[in-house]
Amino acid sequence: MPLVNISILKGKSSEYKKAVADSINSAVIETMAFPDDDRYQIIHELDDECLQLQERKGDRVMMHLTMRAGRSNKSKQAFYAKVVENLEKAPGIERKNVLITIVENHDIDWSFADGEASFIV
């Protein structure tokens, strides 16, 4: 159940955006054992000059995950590898053009609805 902010270049098709979102979600579920229905993604479409990844050109994606603390370094490393593998297959983004960051927080930092701390009983 990470909250995933995904930045891509503006002007991509709905199919492209779906492929990016599905590739990332699949990697989250496979490598970090989140439930299948825990999907929280925001896709930001940016002009070329607003999505800078050093000197890299072409399709690129930057993603920032916010999630509860507790996943192992191994699962995060597996996630990084699986994401670039998936994105290379569909929609065809080069591995070098993928940037991933993860920030962890605590149970008290989540409210999914009704103004209640979702993980605090």
**What's domain 3-109's architecture?**
2-Layer Sandwich (3.30)
Domain boundaries, the chain: 3-109
pLDDT at 17: 98
Please, which residues bridge with residue 7 across strands? 44, 62
pLDDT at 1: 78
* Cα(16)–Cα(43) distance, integer angstroms: 12
Q: How many CA atoms lie within 13 A of 14 on its CB side?
A: 0
- Establish whether the linkage from the previous residue to 91 is cis, with ω within 30° of 0: yes
Spans of the chain below 50 pLDDT: none
Q: What is the pLDDT of residues 61-76, one digit of tens each?
A: 999 999 999 999 999 9
pLDDT at 50: 97
pLDDT at 107: 95
Residue 34: C-alpha distances to residues 2, 30, 78, 80, 86 (Å): 8, 8, 14, 15, 17
pLDDT at 79: 98
